[in-house]
Structure 1
Amino acid sequence: MEMVLPNRLHKGDKVGVIAPASPPNIDQLNKAIPFLESLGLEVVIADHVEDVHGYLAGTDEERLADVHDMFARPDIKGIFCAGGGYGTGRIADKIDYELIRKNPKIFWGYSDITYLHTAIRQKTGLVTFHGPMLSSDIGKDDFHDESKTMFHQLFFSQPLTYNESLAPLTVIAEGEGRGELTGGNLSLLVSTLGTPFEVDTKGKLLLIEDIDEEPYRIDGMLNQLRLSGKFHDAAGIVVGDFMNAEPSKRKASLSLSQVLKDYLSGLAKPVVAGFKIGHCQPHFAIPLGVEAELSSNGTLKISPGVK
């Protein structure tokens, strides 16, 4: 699939907000909107963002309608997800990917949005963005200044370089690797296996991150990726943040670092852990689908995500 870069944003552009997964915290969403406005953007809230259907932000049909509407509208130049939770996998097979292919634009989110990142990129080639969301991140009091600066990449075609200036990195396996950057939330990536949206890692740099998963659960998901050949196929592994990866159900447990070492240290490719990418602050936002280079000297170089 040929890579498609979305157009960069300009001050005065309209951007849409959707909730394709769980219901967002509306108070935090309202606190977050002024941040987008401070970037010079006009914010348009999709019709069903405040809808609640159990643990979903509206029915599948309503959430799908918001996705389609925001991609179809020519006045909307970018789409930001209000939050994650659960639900994007339920609509992935109903999305009109031809509509997205004909109307490429910035699409931003993470966590449960990983399913849409994977599906959209593999069906259309569109580069999408793994970054902090309005309700679950921007609208909270601890939203980090460094996280705010990551939105600047949407206005300028500039490469990104991640090094140890943000946080220490740990080399699990030595090497140099280059390829398309793919991946996201580990549990969502595993949930694509065996579906038409199964994550493709062949020759790519695979990002993994997660939250509130015990080491034994992470062990099981890494084993599933191993047995399905996803680590073998990858050019390198970028290990993002694994917040609250502590044992609670089991008193005796391996540590997260032991689990990662068991599955990733023997790979003949670069594996580096500690990236502040995921459910963390600061959150280093990145484009998915662009060329990137990972080195065990502690750097991740990423090509621009907009044109």
Structure 2
Amino acid sequence: MKRRPPRLHKGDTVGIIAPSSPPNIERLTKALDFLDKLGLHYVLGNTVQLHNHYLAGTDQERAQDLQEMIEDPTIKAIFCASAGFGAARIADKIDYLLLEENPKIFWGFSDITFLHTAIGMFSDIVTFHGPTLSSIGRENVMERTKHMFEQLFQPAEIHYDESISPLTTICGGAARGEITGGNLTLIANSLGTKFEIDTAGKILLIEDIGLEPAQIDGLLNQLRQARKFEQVKGIVIGEFTEIHPREYEDSPSLDELFESYFKDLNIPVVSGFKIGHCEPNVGIPLGVDVLLDAENKDLAILPGVE
């Protein structure tokens, strides 16, 4: 299990950055009120208001924003204001050793997956797969989504079972291991880079949005041929949102597709977790040990902070 960052306390200051695409300012403003209610102060990074086509500033500006938040000892957590595209472009511009020596909470999801993988690999600390602040500012955000921020203030185990959402056992069994992963597209994008995801002995989380089944098939096949399923101990399937056949109308269901890739691995595989582009979006730590029990449809997750 990776090193856990210190917990937050009321009155702490957190940094807000946009390492990918520009945030929706109206929704971000609503999220700042949410941080106020949590008792947190905040510092807005420069990238929050920068635009460079579909990026929140240049690569150098986005990398510098993240680096300054890492270096500032008064910043106790780094929250991503938005995702979108571009986080992978700054992954090789960050001082991971400094973050390892001074661990702090790092929170985001979707395109931020690439940075989760990089930080886990080179800083060896726990990070948090959770909604961006722009997501918190949406009209339909659920209380459970907001509630998951409380785990940053008090170490607590998370138990995800069918009291949260219906779950489907695709392959039975139980396994314990360190959880890793996030967005399926970004996991695949890490292959062949120095940030290539390590799945050996781990529980793999996958989620995605806006793809059709044939595209998911292609991504899973890429991971299979990269031998990422050979030593994985279990698979947690989060929300696959807005998945519709477009070019290929005669497409398998998602569960059929997952079963075709995972049924012969003899590892627990469960789908239906509300983790990803959905409401609620259940924020969880990455890099901690979890127990995935496919028979009882339960995921037990150790605390992510000290």
Q: In which range does the TM-score fall when normalised by the shorter chain?
A: over 0.9
Aligned to 2:304: 305
Q: Report if the CA contact (8 A) 1:183-1:206 is conserved.
A: yes
Aligned to 2:183: 185
Q: Give the drift of 1:261.
A: 1.3
In the alignment, the residues of structure 2 paired with residue 294 and residue 216 of structure 1 have an alpha-carbon distance, to the nearest angstrom, of: 28
In the alignment, the residues of structure 1 paired with residue 264 and residue 273 of structure 2 have an alpha-carbon distance, to the nearest angstrom, of: 20
Q: Give the drift of 1:161.
A: 0.6
What do the CA deviations read for 1:60-99 (whole angstroms, capped 9, x no partner)?
Answer: 0000011001111111100100111000111111111122
User: For residues 246-285 of structure 1, what are the structure 2 equivalents within 5 Å?
Assistant: 246-285=244-283
Other structure's SS at 1:11 match: coil
Q: Give the drift of 1:292.
A: 0.6
What do the CA deviations read for 1:213-260 (whole angstroms, capped 9, x no partner)?
Answer: 100000000011111111111110000000011112222222222211
2:160 aligned with 1:171: no
Aligned to 1:29: 28
Q: Report if the CA contact (8 A) 1:6-1:126 is conserved.
A: yes
Aligned to 2:55: 56
User: For residues 123-142 of structure 1, what are the structure 2 equivalents within 5 Å?
Assistant: 123-135=122-134, 137-142=135-140
Q: Report if the CA contact (8 A) 2:170-2:255 is conserved.
A: no
Q: Report if the CA contact (8 A) 2:19-2:47 is conserved.
A: no
In the alignment, the residues of structure 1 paired with residue 132 and residue 141 of structure 2 have an alpha-carbon distance, to the nearest angstrom, of: 10
Other structure's SS at 1:305 match: coil
State which of 199, 211, 216 in structure 1 corresponds to 2:197.
199
Unaligned runs of 5+ in 1: none
Aligned to 1:238: 236
Other structure's SS at 1:232 match: coil
Aligned to 2:14: 15
Aligned to 2:77: 78
**Identity value in percent:** 54
Question: Alpha carbon RMSD of aligned pairs, Å?
Answer: 0.9
Unaligned runs of 5+ in 2: none
In the alignment, the residues of structure 1 paired with residue 231 and residue 56 of structure 2 have an alpha-carbon distance, to the nearest angstrom, of: 36
In the alignment, the residues of structure 1 paired with residue 112 and residue 266 of structure 2 have an alpha-carbon distance, to the nearest angstrom, of: 30
Code of the aligned partner of 1:4: R
Other structure's SS at 1:78 match: strand
In the alignment, the residues of structure 2 paired with residue 199 and residue 3 of structure 1 have an alpha-carbon distance, to the nearest angstrom, of: 15
Q: Give the drift of 1:204.
A: 0.3
User: For residues 90-129 of structure 1, what are the structure 2 equivalents within 5 Å?
Assistant: 90-129=89-128
In the alignment, the residues of structure 2 paired with residue 26 and residue 107 of structure 1 have an alpha-carbon distance, to the nearest angstrom, of: 21
Q: Give the drift of 1:48.
A: 2.1
State which of 150, 154, 157 in structure 2 corresponds to 1:159.
157
In the alignment, the residues of structure 1 paired with residue 204 and residue 132 of structure 2 have an alpha-carbon distance, to the nearest angstrom, of: 21
Other structure's SS at 1:230 match: coil
TM-score (norm 1): 0.98
